[in-house]
Every structure is written in C-alpha cells, then in structure tokens.
Chain A
Amino acid sequence: NAGVMQNPRHLVRRRGQEARLRCSPMKGHSHVYWYRQLPEEGLKFMVYLQKENIIDESGMPKERFSAEFPKEGPSILRIQQVVRGDSAAYFCASSPRQGPEQYFGPGTRLTVT
C-alpha cells in the first residue's frame, strides 16, 4: 500500500508566478490535510478537505491560496502570485476517517526567487 504521494518534491518559482502542489492520499483515504512548515518552525495547519468539499480552511491565507480535492485525481494546493514569504515546505496528510491518524507525505519544498 503506497503512502501519501506528493509532487513535485522541489519547486522553484519566481515572484509573481503560480505554484501548484499535488497530493495523492493513501489508497482508501478520503480525507486530506495541508500543512505548511516555515524554516526552523513546526507545521501549521492550512486546510482540511474531503472529496469535493472544503471542510475547514481556517489556516489558509485569505488571498492567493486555494485548495481543492476533486472527485477524481489528486488534491491540489494552488498559490497564485507567489512571494518570497511563501518559501516553505508544504506537507499533505491523509486519513481514512475523521482522526485520529494522519499520515504525511514527503512534502513539497517551494522556493520563491
């Protein structure tokens, strides 16, 4: 059973470009969570999605950030008009139901130049 997959693993974008991060949950998991880890910090919750629904986006910045988890395909975290402060590691986690176990992917490390 493959784990949580994220791609790309590393992404470099220039200021003003768009970044699209993908997450494929573990087989049988229908709940996806996105977290951001800034350098030297712990992870901060961004958004919780189920198939075709955003359940909790209390950690998402109000502008430029969006997330989706379509009926088919991976979950996408989209960052428009990236700025240097968006440079971070973005982790996706999945679970088969509401808690308690969240399994994390390897992360996408975004660098904005």
Chain B
Amino acid sequence: GEDVEQSLFLSVREGDSSVINCTYTDSSSTYLYWYKQEPGAGLQLLTYIFSNMDMKQDQRLTVLLNKKDKHLSLRIADTQTGDSAIYFCAEDTGGGNKLTFGTGTQLKVEL
C-alpha cells in the first residue's frame, strides 16, 4: 500500500545542519518532493528529485535518494531560525496525478 513515513520532531542549533529523513513505499514513483509548511500557511514546494537521480543540490538544500531502500533525505545546511517549520516529503502515485504525503517532521531551530 501507499505509506510515507517521517520522524515527528527534529531540534537543531542555529548554524548546524539539519537532516530530515523519509521512507516511502511506492517503487513506481517518478518524482519525490519536499514541501515546507509554516504555521497557518499553505505548502511551499522546496525541491523535488527525479527517481533516477541519487542527489540534487539547490543552494542550502541537498536531497539524497536511495531508491533501493526507498529512503529520501533533506539536508539543510547552516540552518536558520526561519527554517523552523513542518517539512513534508511526498511521492507521486497514480501516474503523477496525486501526491502521497508523509505525516511531516517539525523542525525546531534553537539559538
């Protein structure tokens, strides 16, 4: 079945790197995504990776994909207080028409 799992909480100090992990189940997913949600707001698309890639880097963000283990991670370098939010990973299912989301990881950045 379709299930995307994430740990619920992560706390880091400002300036450190954050690594948010995700496991998914649908091996036929074409793209995998990371979204950011701030309190009371919608979801902001941060980045996505094509399933035949291992890594994608975009400024402070690095996405790693281990397709064999169905494991996706998001690394945020030099984490800032403005990065505090809930981060959702998602996979496309049903031919890319719908996204299946994880439960979200709440990132707290401490001074």
Contacts and interface: CB of A to CB of B under 8 A. Distances in A.
Interface of A: 4, 33, 35, 41-45, 48, 55-56, 58-59, 91, 93, 98-107
Given A42-B102, A43-B101, A101 B45 contact: yes
- Interface of B (DSSP majority class): strand
B71 to A, nearest CB: 18
B88 A43 contact: yes
B31 to A, nearest CB: 4
B92 A105 contact: no
Interface in B80-111: 88, 90, 92, 94-104
Contact of A99 (B88, B96, B104): B96
Contacts of A105: 42
Contacts of A56: 94, 97-98
A107 B94 contact: no
B45 A91 contact: no
Contacts of A42: 4, 88, 101-104
A81 B76 CA distance: 44
A85 B45 CA distance: 28
B92 A99 contact: yes
Given A43-B88, A56-B94, A58-B94, A102 B100 contact: no
Contacts of B104: 42
Contacts of B95: 98
A95 B48 CA distance: 14
Contacts of B98: 33, 45, 48, 56, 58-59
A102 B42 contact: no
A48 B41 contact: no
